[in-house]
Chain A
Amino acid sequence: MSIRPLDALDRHALVIAVWLPLLLVAAAVFHYGFGAGGWPFITAGFAVLIAAFAGHVIVNATFGTQFTPKEVALGLVVYCAGLLAAGFATLVSMVFRSHYALPVSLGFLGTATVVIFTMILWLGLRGAFDSFDVIRRFKP
Chain B
Amino acid sequence: MTSLLAVMLAVFAAFTLYIAAQSAKSGDSPAAFVDAGQNLPGWTYIFAGSGALLASVGPYDYLRLLSVYGFQANQLALSLILVALVMALFQKRLWLAARMTGSRSLGEVLGAHYQSTSIRIYVLVVLLLFAVPFAATLLGSAGELLAQASGGALSRAAAISALAAFLFLASALGGWRATIYIIAVLSTVILALLIFSASFAGLVFDGLSVFHKGFSVREGILGSVLPGVIQFSSGIGREVPAGGLWTTTAVLSFALAAAGAALSPSFAFLGLTMKSRAGFAFSQVWIVSGLAAGALLLLGPIVAGEMNAADNFTPLVARFAAYDQLVAACVTVMLLVMLLVAVAFFAASGASVATIELLDRYVVPDLTPRGERLAARVSLAIIYAAIVLLAAFLPALATVLSTLALPLSAQLFAAYLGLCWLRWMSRSAVLVGLAFGILFVVFTEPPGLIVFDGLFVQLPWGRWPLTIHSAAWGLAINVGASLLVAIFTRQDAEREHRNVLHGSFQRDHRIAFGGRAARSAKWSLTLLWVFLALGPGAILGNSFFAHPVFTEADIALGVPSLWVWQAFFWIIGVLLVWWLAYRSRLSTVEGTFRPHELRHLLQVPGTRRQLRWIALLVTRLTARQNRTTQPARRLR
Task: Write the residues of chain A forming the contact surface with B, with a CB cutoff of 8 angstroms.
Answer: 4-6, 9-10, 12-14, 16-18, 20-22, 24-25, 27-29, 31-32, 35-37, 62
User: In the complex, what distance in Å separates the CA atom of A62 from the CA atom of B46?
Assistant: 14
Q: How many of chain B's residues have a CB under 8 angstroms from any CB in A?
A: 31
Tell me whether A28 and B196 are in contact (CB under 8 A). Answer: yes
From the candidates A6, A20, A28, A37, name the one contacting B189 in the complex (CB within 8 A).
Answer: A20
Residue in B47, B191, B192 with the greatest tally of chain A CB atoms within 10 Å: B192
Q: Which residues of B contact A20 (CB under 8 A)?
A: 15, 185, 188-189
Q: Which residues of A contact B43 (CB under 8 A)?
A: 10, 14, 62
Tell me whether B39 and A6 are in contact (CB under 8 A). Answer: yes
| 13 A-B contact pairs sorted by A residue (CB < 8 Å) | A9-B22, A16-B185, A17-B185, A18-B188, A20-B185, A21-B191, A21-B193, A22-B192, A25-B192, A27-B326, A28-B196, A32-B200, A32-B326
> Which 10 A/B pairs are nearest by Cβ-Cβ distance?
A21-B192, A13-B181, A31-B326, A5-B27, A21-B189, A32-B324, A17-B185, A25-B196, A9-B26, A21-B188
User: Does residue B375 face the partner (Cβ distance < 8 Å to A)?
Assistant: no
User: In the complex, what distance in Å separates the CA atom of A9 from the CA atom of B330?
Assistant: 27
Beyond A28-B327, A32-B200, 13 extra complex contacts between A and B, CB < 8 Å = A5-B26, A9-B26, A10-B44, A13-B185, A14-B184, A18-B188, A21-B192, A25-B192, A25-B196, A28-B200, A31-B326, A32-B327, A36-B323
Q: Which residues of A contact B204 (CB under 8 A)?
A: 32, 37
CB B37 to nearest CB in A, in angstroms, measures 9
Q: Which residues of B contact A4 (CB under 8 A)?
A: 27
Closest to A8 in B: B26
User: In the complex, what distance in Å separates the CA atom of A129 from the CA atom of B488?
Assistant: 75
CB B457 to nearest CB in A, in angstroms, measures 53
CB A20 to nearest CB in B, in angstroms, measures 6
User: In the complex, what distance in Å separates the CA atom of A22 from the CA atom of B191?
Assistant: 10
Closest to B178 in A: A13
Closest to B36 in A: A6
User: Does residue B115 face the partner (Cβ distance < 8 Å to A)?
Assistant: no
Given known A-B contacts A6-B26, A6-B27, A9-B23, A35 and B193 have beta carbons under 8 A apart:
no
DSSP class of A's interface residues: helix, strand, loop or mixed?
helix
User: In the complex, what distance in Å separates the CA atom of A74 from the CA atom of B634?
Assistant: 56
CB A70 to nearest CB in B, in angstroms, measures 13
User: Does residue B28 face the partner (Cβ distance < 8 Å to A)?
Assistant: yes
Q: Which residues of A contact B359 (CB under 8 A)?
A: none
User: In the complex, what distance in Å separates the CA atom of A103 from the CA atom of B272?
Assistant: 49
Residue interface bits B308-327, CB-to-A below 8 A is 1, else 0: 00000000000000011111
Q: Which of B109-143 contact A (CB under 8 A)?
A: none
Closest to B184 in A: A17
Tell me whether B185 and A35 are in contact (CB under 8 A). Answer: no
Tell me whether A24 and B27 are in contact (CB under 8 A). Answer: no
Q: Which residues of A contact B184 (CB under 8 A)?
A: 13-14, 17
User: In the complex, what distance in Å separates the CA atom of A14 from the CA atom of B40?
Assistant: 12
Tell me whether A16 and B189 are in contact (CB under 8 A). Answer: no
Given known A-B contacts A24-B330, A28-B330, A16 and B192 have beta carbons under 8 A apart:
no
CB A33 to nearest CB in B, in angstroms, measures 10
Q: Which residues of A contact B326 (CB under 8 A)?
A: 27-28, 31-32
Q: Which residues of A contact B536 (CB under 8 A)?
A: none
Q: Which residues of A contact B28 (CB under 8 A)?
A: 6
User: In the complex, what distance in Å separates the CA atom of A37 from the CA atom of B188?
Assistant: 25
Tell me whether B19 and A16 are in contact (CB under 8 A). Answer: yes
User: Does residue B41 face the partner (Cβ distance < 8 Å to A)?
Assistant: yes
Closest to B324 in A: A32
User: In the complex, what distance in Å separates the CA atom of A5 from the CA atom of B22?
Assistant: 10
Closest to A16 in B: B185
CB B527 to nearest CB in A, in angstroms, measures 37
Tell me whether B324 and A31 are in contact (CB under 8 A). Answer: yes
User: In the complex, what distance in Å separates the CA atom of A42 from the CA atom of B219?
Assistant: 42
Tell me whether A25 and B27 are in contact (CB under 8 A). Answer: no
Tell me whether A24 and B324 are in contact (CB under 8 A). Answer: no
Q: Which residues of A contact B22 (CB under 8 A)?
A: 9, 12
CB A119 to nearest CB in B, in angstroms, measures 24
Tell me whether B192 and A17 are in contact (CB under 8 A). Answer: no
Q: Which of B161-197 contact A (CB under 8 A)?
A: 181, 184-185, 188-189, 191-193, 196
User: In the complex, what distance in Å separates the CA atom of A69 from the CA atom of B188?
Assistant: 25
CB B350 to nearest CB in A, in angstroms, measures 22
Q: Which residues of B contact A27 (CB under 8 A)?
A: 326
User: In the complex, what distance in Å separates the CA atom of A27 from the CA atom of B193?
Assistant: 12
Q: Which residues of A contact B193 (CB under 8 A)?
A: 21, 24-25
Closest to B15 in A: A20
Residue interface bits B27-41, CB-to-A below 8 A is 1, else 0: 110000000000101
